[in-house]
Amino acid sequence: MTDVLVCIKRVPEATGEVTLTPDGLGIDGSHAGYTVSPNEECAVELAVQVADGGRCTVLTLGPAGAVDQLRAALAVGMTDGIHIEGDSDAFSPADVAREVAAAVRARGEAGSAYDLVLLGNDAADTGDFQVGVRLAYALGYPVVTGIQTVSVEGSTAILTGEGPDGSETYRVALPAVVTVLEGGVEPRYPSVMGRMKAKKAPIETLAPTTVPVGSGRLALEVPPPPPNQVRILGEGAAAAPAFVATLAELGVLR
């Protein structure tokens, strides 16, 4: 039995055209909706698997609407939630790490320490690649990033991820921080029962411990799409010869 905390972040869906908020400092998710990164979905899945009956808490720092993302995680097997209410855009990675660390310590002081803290490798929106590492330093825990599978043997976590020379295995003493990269597990979808449980699962709401320093963001811009210069080779099967000719031109065919 392992007690796991998973940190997730509410981010705008960005499968389509991106629209900025009127002040140009945020991304407008009102059309496409909000989600968490695939990495975090995998982190949640790993947590549910590795907890083995232990506590699986899902934590987020975000606006009121981020409860949706907490509930979504609770619907796939997390047991309770922590919601640090704040505008995530106003928090730097260091700010976020400090707030999460405070929450982890508070739980520890309350007698429910976590063995393992999982995060996504990088947030889908800001892509900072550092909250997990900073959190580990704040807590004094070891940290491994880019992990795809997690298992626990006694007080040791066995972690694997892709390295430059192959699959790498770490054996790290708990408690530890791990950031997860998608690909090792298939995140599950919620079941109807899961949704029902999620509705009733407890969520603790916290205020940030201090005013955030801020992310240093000055502006956002959506780069214009490259000009459409496509040459249509033809329609349907009739275009096959033109395709082959183009390959020859490009030197792909000898």
Partner 1 sequence: MATVPATAKCVVIGAGIVGNGLVYHLANLGWRDIVQIDKGPLPNPGGSTGHASNFIFPVDHSREIADITADSVKQYQEMGVFTQSGGIEVARTEERMEELRRRMSSAKAWSIPAELLTPEQVQEKVPFLDKDVILGGCYFPTVGVVDSLRAGTIFRERAQELGALTLAPNVEVTGMVVTDGRITAVETTGGSIACEYVVIAAGVWSPKLAKMAGAHIPLTPAVHQMISVGPCEQLAAIPGEISFPIVRDMDTFCYERQHGSDMEVGSYAHRPILMDAEDIPSIEQSKLSPTELPFTSDDFDPQLEQALELMPELLGDERAEIRYAINGLLSLTPDGFPLLGETPEVKGLWSAAAVWIKEGPGTSRAVAEWMVHGNPEIDLGHSDIARFYPHQRTRAHIRARTSESFNKTYGIIHPSEQYSSSRNIRLAPMHASEKELGAVFFETAGWERPHWYESNAALVEKFGDVCMPREHEWDARWWSQIINAEHLQMRETAGLVDLSAFCIFDIIGPAALEAVQRIIVAQADVKIGRVIYTPVLDERGGFRSDLTVMRVAHDRFRVVTGGAHGMADLKWFADRMPAGAVVVDLTSAYTTIGVWGPNARAILASVTRDDVSREGFPFATCRDIEVGNLSVTASRISYVGEYGWELYTPIENGAALWAALLEAGAEHGLIPVGIGVYGTTGRIEKGYRAYGYELDTERTLAEAGMQRPKIKEQDFIGKEAIIAQVAQPPTSVLCSLTVDDHMSKSGVKRYMLGGEPIMTREGGELAGTHGWHPYVTTAGSAPSLGKHVLMAYLPPEYAVVGQELAVCYMDELYPVTVAANDATPLFDPENDRVKGNA
Partner 2 sequence: MILVLVEIDDGALALVSQEALTFARGLGEPVEAVVLAAPGTDTSAAVADCAVQGVARVHLVDGPDLISYAAAAWASVVAGVLAETGASTLVASGSGRASEILAHVAARLDVPMAANALEASPVGESTEAVGGQARMPDQGSDTGTGLLVRRQVLGGAVVESTLLAAVPAILTVAGHAVEPVAAPVAGAASVVTVTPRIEPDDLRAQVASVTPRSGGDGASLTKAKVVVGAGRGAGGPDGFGGVDALAAKLGGVVGVSRVVTSLGWRPHHEQVGQTGSRINPDLYVPCGISGAIQHWAGCSSSKTIIAINTDAEAPMVTKAAYAIVGDMHEVIPAILAALDKRG
| Residue of 128, 166, 173, 174 lying closest to 148 (CA atoms) | 166
Q: How far is the C-alpha of 136 from the C-alpha of 133, rounded, in Å?
A: 5
**Residue 17 binding partner 1, by CB under 8 A:** yes
Q: How far is the C-alpha of 121 from the C-alpha of 246, rounded, in Å?
A: 40
Among 4, 172, 180, 198, binds partner 2 (CB under 8 A): 172
Among 36, 101, 182, 208, binds partner 2 (CB under 8 A): 182
- Binding partner of residue 92 among partner 2, partner 1, none, CB cut-off 5 to 8 Å per kind: partner 2
**Residue 234 binding partner 1, by CB under 8 A:** no
* Three-state secondary structure call for residue 56: strand
Q: Which stretch binds partner 2 (CB under 8 A): 11-19, 44-52, 54-62, 200-208?
A: 11-19
**Residue 183 binding partner 2, by CB under 8 A:** yes
**What does the block give as tokens for 235?**
């329609």
List binders of partner 2 among 51-110 (CB under 8 A).
92-94, 97
Q: Which stretch binds partner 1 (CB under 8 A): 25-33, 89-97, 170-178, 210-218?
A: 25-33
Q: C-alpha distances in angstroms, 77 versus 43, 197, 201?
A: 12, 9, 10
Q: C-alpha distances in angstroms, 171 versus 57, 158, 160, 181?
A: 23, 5, 9, 17
**Residue 32 binding partner 1, by CB under 8 A:** yes
The mark string for 193-232 relative to partner 2 (x by CB under 8 A, - otherwise) is ---------------------xxxxxxxxxx-xx-xxxxx
Q: How far is the C-alpha of 3 from the C-alpha of 12, rounded, in Å?
A: 29
**Residue 233 binding partner 2, by CB under 8 A:** yes
Among 153, 165, 193, 211, binds partner 2 (CB under 8 A): 165
Do 60 and 7 meet the contact criterion of CB atoms below 8 Å apart? yes
Q: Which stretch binds partner 2 (CB under 8 A): 36-44, 71-79, 99-107, 192-200?
A: 36-44
Do 12 and 34 meet the contact criterion of CB atoms below 8 Å apart? yes
Minimum distance of partner 1 from residue 10's CB (angstroms): 12
- Binding partner of residue 145 among partner 2, partner 1, none, CB cut-off 5 to 8 Å per kind: partner 2
Burial class (CB in 10 A: 0-12, 13-18, 19+), 50: buried
Q: How far is the C-alpha of 189 from the C-alpha of 195, rounded, in Å?
A: 10
- Binding partner of residue 210 among partner 1, partner 2, none, CB cut-off 5 to 8 Å per kind: none
Among 9, 10, 55, 71, binds partner 1 (CB under 8 A): 71
Do 175 and 113 meet the contact criterion of CB atoms below 8 Å apart? yes
Name the residues that contact partner 1, by CB under 8 A.
13, 15-17, 19, 31-34, 68, 71-72, 188-196, 199
